[in-house]
Amino acid sequence: MKFVIVFAAFCATVVLAAPLDNGVQIVRYDNDNIGVDGYNFAYETSDGVSREESAKLDKVGTDGESISVRGSVTWTAPDGVQYSLQYIADENGFQPQGAHLPK
């Protein structure tokens, strides 16, 4: 389980550290790695993309120990339509919600 947390934080860092060749700049970046108990991060780019995510370890010390992740991302598509996606990922799987998604 600890590996999952560290791996997720590493992936987020690598993605944010990758150079952007389209002139988009990171205008806000917050990262709070609270150790094996979870993490929080958020960022916003100059083209209006924003993302926030937090995770926590649930049922610590039991056979049902798991991590639950909550987050959201907002972006504007090339046609000018703004999209927003909220999600939960936990023992019940990945559960996205957004007005643009089929129900």
pLDDT per position as a tens digit, 11-53: 555 555 555 468 899 999 999 887 777 899 999 999 999 999 9
In the chain, % of residues over pLDDT 70 = 80
Tell whether pTM > 0.75: no
Q: How far apart are the first and last CA of the chain?
A: 32
One-letter amino acid at 47 equals D
- Note the pLDDT of residue 22: 80
**Which residue stretches of the chain are H helix?**
2-17
Contact 63, 48 (CB under 8 A): no
Given a cut of 70, whether residue 75 has pLDDT beyond it is yes
